[in-house]
Amino acid sequence: MLVGLDLELVSPDQLAQGPVEPGEGAEAYRENAIAKAEAYAAATGLATVADDSGLEVDALGGAPGVRSRRYFGDDASAETRNDKLLALLEDAPQRTARFVCVVALARPGVPTEAFDGAVRGEIATAPRIGVGEGFGYDPVFIVGGDGRTMAEMSAEEKDAISHRGLAVAKLRAHLAAEPR
């Protein structure tokens, strides 16, 4: 999503030093994203982008929320998480939800910045996977007017409307507007 900017993108597995393991112990996406970005920036001396995201289901009072990956157990697979979520919502009259993402940009010697994105939708009654396959809760999250899940969208379609795509678009605009 950052292709075309005057940047050299490096993933953590391309770095020479050992892995950085920043925690996700905060109660908010923003704080988790910032903690991860600042940990990598401190360890590498490089500008770093990191995110935190989650699914908030209205019928569950906003759960699984910031603990989306761990809500149904630390070792639960995406398929297990989706099955357990659907079981919780089996008789729920309301299935509305939203995906939330915060992307943080940390640079040594510069205050860390954060950019957010959210998309509303609803939880399907069964997982649906299509051309995009998706990951996490994508197979059960219906978004947009055509009734498809995020997992039924192409990567390009998903990036244009997803919570992460919206947050990264704000980051991209910010980076593009910076003087070089």
- The rounded distance, in Å, linking the Cα atoms of 54 and 65 is 5
pLDDT tens digits, 99-131 = 999 999 999 889 999 999 999 999 999 999 887
- Tokens in use for 30? 């923003």
Radius of gyration of the chain (CA): 17
Stated as kind and residue range, the H or E segment containing 117 is strand 110-123
* Burial category of 34 from C-beta neighbours within 10 Å (exposed 0-12, middle 13-18, buried 19 and up): buried
**pLDDT (mean) for 134-151:** 90
Domain ranges of the chain: 26-177
Query: What's the DSSP call for residue 48?
Result: E
Q: How far apart are CA 131 and CA 50, in angstroms?
A: 27
Q: From the candidates 6, 13, 51, 52, which is the catalytic residue?
A: 52
Active site residue 52: yes
Alpha-carbon distance of 76 to 92, in angstroms, equals: 23
CATH code reported for the domain at 26-177: 3.90.950.10
Q: pLDDT by residue (tens digit) across 1-12?
A: 777 777 778 787
